[in-house]
Amino acid sequence: MRSIRDVLEQNNGTLTVQLDEYVVSLPSPGESVPERVLLCIRPESLMLQAEAGIASASAIQLSGTITRRAFLGNLMRYWVQVGQREWIADQPDPGAAAVVADTVTLGLPLSRVHVIAGAP
């Protein structure tokens, strides 16, 4: 997933950005960051659950609907619609951990979000 976001605040090596309805704090990629940044997260970093988990300061929970799925050998790829955004989530071992529900919770660990300065 890639998303250009406005920086709401920069303080002591931390950026505060708005990600959909969430305001999150992320490590700054440098001392001087422009007003807009690119947030990136790899599909294998996202977690899928059939029901909502416990939200924490280190992860956010997004409710969504699986729109497509594809078997890719050692993993299963899911396309999950959350609001107006489509997320791609890769889950290992599709035989043992396949998600069968269409409505899921997408877990987004903030430690796995990469902030890239200089976004267009």
Q: In what order do the strands lie in the sheet with 85-92?
A: 47-49, 103-109, 59-71, 75-82, 85-92
* Model pTM score: 0.80
Taking a C-beta distance cutoff of 8 angstroms, is the pair 42, 91 a contact? no
Identify the CATH number of the domain in which residue 56 sits.
2.40.50.140
Domain count, the chain: 1
Taking a C-beta distance cutoff of 8 angstroms, is the pair 102, 110 a contact? no
Q: Which residues contact 45 (CB under 8 A, 6 or more apart)?
A: 109, 112
Q: How far apart are the C-alpha atoms of 26 and 81, rounded to whole Å?
A: 24
Which pLDDT tens digit goes with each residue over 75-100? 889 999 998 889 999 988 766 655 66
Residue where the block lists tokens 């050692």: 74
Which pLDDT tens digit goes with each residue over 4-15? 888 899 888 888
Q: Which has more confidence, 68 or 93?
A: 68
Domain span at residue 20 reads 2-117
Specify the DSSP class assigned to residue 110.
G
Average pLDDT, rounded, for the chain: 84
